Amino acid sequence: MLKTMTIIHALIFGLVEGITEFLPISSTAHLILTANLLTIPQTDYIKSFEIIIQLGAILAVVVLYFKRFFEIEVLKRLIVAFIPTGILGLTLYKMIKSYLLGNTTIILTAMALGGLILILLERFVFKTASTDAPDITTISYKHCLALGLFQSIAMIPGVSRSGATIAGGMIIGIPRKTIVEFSFLLAAPTMAAATLLDLLKSAGSWSSDQTTSLAIGFIAAFVTAIFAIKWLLKFISGHTFVPFGIYRIAVSLLFFLR
């Protein structure tokens, strides 16, 4: 039996979003698969909910890296990296929301392929990457544009925005810690723009109960994301991304076989 969203559902979604947004495992995929497990249909509201609560997780980045957003050299690099995603997102918004979000086959395929690619890159590319961690402001503008293009691939649900950005950064030689932190910062303008676009398109159609659910999911995502960000930074100091690749493939197989 299909269900409508409750306060408990909103809290679950918020926790899932906060945990997965910055890990290279695709928060969008996890939100959609969570809805699938809870038998909540992918209505226009649910699709908007899944987009908007991501801003709660992004607010965690703003809080933790507040001063960095006022550094001119950082801002210039974020703007350059945002350009490809901004243009493509605005152009393809309707198609993505109508045909890709909620398509379980596309999501699971992207999850599995992304996991395999992550493992292969770790095996053949990442092991030769520099272990130094220069500041974000050392990333060239050419590389920033390339990172924006890599991030754009994540418009396909299941790819993972952070995963695409991190993988792209390490392919072009940016050290782990540097590219992970850059992916955190780049999430802010990217998800803020996605949320604003969705609010402009659909905010007027929500009921008061739906607005309450959004607020609960937003807050839960914000609080959880703070812990997830700190955990990931600690994790990458002594581990590879292989566990995330294995996890992606395992989740895909489980859902394909269920």
- Domain regions of the chain by residue span: 7-257
What digits encode the pLDDT tens for the residues 11-68? 999 999 999 999 999 998 998 899 889 888 877 778 778 878 888 998 999 999 999 9
Report the predicted TM-score, pTM, of the whole model to 2 decimal places. Answer: 0.86
Instruction: Tell whether the model's pLDDT for residue 125 goes beyond 90.
Output: no
pLDDT tens per residue, range 102-121: 678 889 999 999 999 999 98
Q: Give the model's confidence band at 73: pLDDT under 50 very low, under 70 low, under 90 confident, else very high.
A: very high
What is the Cα–Cα distance from 33 to 163, expressed in whole angstroms? 18
Count Cβ atoms within 10 A of the Cβ of residue 10 and give its class: 0-12 exposed, 13-18 middle, 19 or more buried. Answer: buried
| pLDDT tens digits, 206-240 | 666 778 888 999 999 999 999 999 999 999 888 89
The set of long-range contacts for 176-181, using a CB threshold of 8 Å and a minimum separation of 24, is 176/126, 176/129, 176/131, 176/133, 176/236, 177/133, 177/233, 177/236, 177/237, 178/133, 178/134, 178/135, 178/136, 178/138, 178/139, 179/147, 180/232, 180/233, 180/236, 181/65, 181/136, 181/233
Residue with the larger pLDDT of the pair 24 and 196: 24
pLDDT at position 1 is 42
pLDDT at 52: 82
Comparison of pLDDT for 100 and 15, the residue scoring more: 15
Does residue 102 or residue 71 have the better pLDDT?
A: 71
Q: Yes or no: say if 23 and 60 are a contact pair by the CB < 8 Å rule.
A: no
